[in-house]
Structure 1
Amino acid sequence: MSIEWVNGAIEEIRAWGRSKDVAVDVDEVRLLCDYASDYLDVGELSDFTPGTFEQLLLDIYPRKVIAPPESAAETVAAARTLVDFLLDSGEIGAKMATRMRSKIDDIAPEMPGALADTSKFGMAKSIFGAMGADADAPGPVTDHQGRRLRGVTADDECGCPGCSPLPPVRPAAPQAIARAVRGSGLLRDAHALLAWMLEGGRTPTVRGTLRVRDAARVTRELGLAAPALAWELVVAVELAEVSGASVRAPGLVPLDARGDEEVLDLWAGTVTFLTGGPAAEVTGWPKLDRELYTVHESLYRLRGPMAVQALREHLDGAPPDDDGGPEDGLELDLDGDDGGEDPGRLDAALAALARCGTVERRGDTVRLTAQGLWGMREMFSRMGLPAPVAPGLADGGAAELIAGLLEGMPAEQAEPDIASWLERRTQAEAASDLLSAVRGEPAVARGVAVTIVDRFGAEAAGAVRPFLDDPELRPHVVHWLAGRGLEAPALSPGEVLWASVDMLALAVPAAGTDPGEFAETLAGAGPPAHVIEEMWQVDHPDVAEVLDLLGRHLPDRDLAKAARKAAFKARSRGIH
């Protein structure tokens, strides 16, 4: 990031600070100069203007720099120091200095809010923020000892595991991964294509590539969507001996007949092939093909879904398709805007990538498949990078189980964890532990616990009934008891209304992940008008957010308007 003029300027500022006995925050000043150079075409100190500081502190920093809102005071102080230096060194005149200081004074009260505004975050900053999602706001980047790395931002390409370690993940069992790989994906297509070539005595071209007429025939006869890519994989993972126009694979073993260990080894090679820049097209969109490693690594670090819109914005800022892109495919302006792409192009490209088997799309999000996650971890391990495995949820207590489930793992992976955890406890013990763990916790955690307890029969009633004394759990406990024909107190109208808000609060994260599906659910089972109009009176911490959600997604315009009005009333009485 730093270039010659920045290095020279920093040395001058150091010397100036020593001569004037002024404390200079060199790291902050360097970051100002670096970003001014990279994004605002500032080529020397005299190029700074009042507008430069406004763009840096209210636009560039919020998008790029990982720092809490309270750090704004340090950055503003560094900007003022830089203005003092520019004036003393003769780079600017007194009038310009006055204008700069006035502009910085205007910026100072706005910058903390800009740093906290998640809508301003660029893709890279959002990813790093999600990796630390337990914090209320994205925190500073730290080294492995927890010390803040001044000047380190979401854009920096530090590959040091101590600075940016891979997060612990929960890969599925190897047997399940092997079964998924055998079932579909590019590796299966490669086996089918190779068998078809051998059975028909067909050969590749003299350069070893698949003949065009064979690609057309195999698409027609086997239904393969990307035969050229499948052949590239045959060569890459050495399923056959290919030399020029000859191909040999004596005793080719079908994928279904291979052992798990062999299938997993081939799959690891497939993931490396897909993310390492193969010669053939993967998705049909060069811009995305150049960034497949970045996209897969980001999804791995997120350990959950990424909004398709975030990926779209990222690709909109990537170099144009015809410029060849950066040499390593990583140095990208994550937040640029060259616009103009066909919005359906990304949809088609993601569908093609999903057919390869490493990612899957769910509504408006994309995430790694179980085999994609496993393959990425295996690739990292083979690269020599520490790729830790998170402990099994069944080994922890109820709080650890709930926290793990809230990380957004696929249902097919979550269910074995829940079953294993329950096997070690009686229903009564499990119910007591789960409900105790969510006392005073947010609605989403409470919802996970209640959903699991709902599996239990009446024999767990002795452990569930004591939670009638908890005002947040009481409506759920009453519902649980009544559903099993057991004696249960009646809920007051206020408690019924509170329970309605609490159940809707469970859907807030899902609505953000797949708003279309949430809107469809509301269309069939949304709350009636009289309930919406009364919700604002409920003393529930999520009531305003729930009403906002209804206001955005209810298909009935009158009901949506009523929800927005109720949200305003809730906020007016101080409920957030």
Structure 2
Amino acid sequence: MGNRRTRRPAPRPPEGTPAPAELARGARAVLAAAARVARWADAALRPGPGGTGATPDGKGTLSDATAERAAAELGLTPAQVRADWDTARLSGLIEVHGDSARPGWRLRVWDRDDTAVLRGWVALFDAWSLAHPAPDDLAPAAVAETVEAMPQVLSLLQLSAGPVPVPQLLDLLDQRVTELRTERCEIADGPEPETPAEAPRDAPLPALLDWALHGLAAVGALTCAEGQATLTPLGSWAVWVKLEQICVAAQSPAGHFEQSAEDMLRGCARLRPNAARAEYRAWLAARPVGSAVTDLLTAARGEDALLRGLAFEALRVVGAPAEPDVRAVVEESSLRPYALLWLAEQEGADPEDVHLVLTREESTWLWVDTAAAVADHGEADLLVRHLESAVQPTVPALLDEVRRVGHPRTVQVLVALAAAHPDPALAKAVRRAAFQVHTGGE
């Protein structure tokens, strides 16, 4: 009984929160200029924005010639084009792959998928400090502290449900920065300063707050006027979403959100799909997306095929933010079939046709890998039923192709299948195939 977790109710959306369709209209308005540049690049640059228009810096930065061309054709300045291009990258309208950039999947569904639009705006909201860089005269350490403290400032704005005077926000920022420094043991030994403003690493907090508020205003999260700041409907909704994520993490149904990726996936192995997805969401909400995706892919590279499949199920919950990392592992043989299927789903392939992205050899490799997971963790009858999912029309054809595909678990899978299958003749053929793979014979 002592291990029972106290479940906290998720925060309710603020009263008067617009419907998703209305929020999406607001997000489209904020990102209209970025979408315009992304569409121009899609139409004007072939085979894609990165093919002829980006510099080889690994960031998808526009070349000078392309920025000038876009400015001339769109009636903008090159600086405006670059700013809109950067916004398009941060919101997923443009995706960077190595030294190239191309239209993102969100651009393809921009006019019909409100969820995709809102997720794109939230990605920009999360990256507000990149979209609106701090002035050079502000110390990087102070800027980083401000970025880390702004969630508390935004929470105050959200709870206030109206304008908040800037001096009140400045007091809160001052308190939070002091807390952060104390937590990091960065306040010097000796007598404590009478006020936080006397701390040895003092920074111009008014200038920092002014930069942060204008940065958040630039992405459409709030408005600043007459010495006050007010969250926009989009900003209020986004802060509520972040609070909800924290509550989801705090009430992880099975309690796996504090574990490593591998342990979390193992803990989800026996859960029903909906319960497992709830665990994935809780686990993801408790850590940065980038490191979470890295940890999931690391778990997928291990020897346990079950974890490989579960890792990609968790990556489906991550969605579009995981796309660059998943695309980067396509050439890894153990992950390739999973990555190709994941990418096809993200790009909107019909669920009934998604398997068509795999070659016959890749499908066979995936069949063996899945069979290995079943053999290690499932019941014998599940392994027998797994035969029905093979792309080959007959068992002899399956065995022939399985022998050639080179999966490291082929022998173990065939031995387990032979032991489980009730048909003596078929079991004998499978054992023979296992022996031939083991000895390298024909």
TM range (shorter): 0.3 to 0.5
Give the structure with higher Rg (CA): 1
> TM-score, normalised to structure 1's length?
0.28
> TM-score, normalised to structure 2's length?
0.36
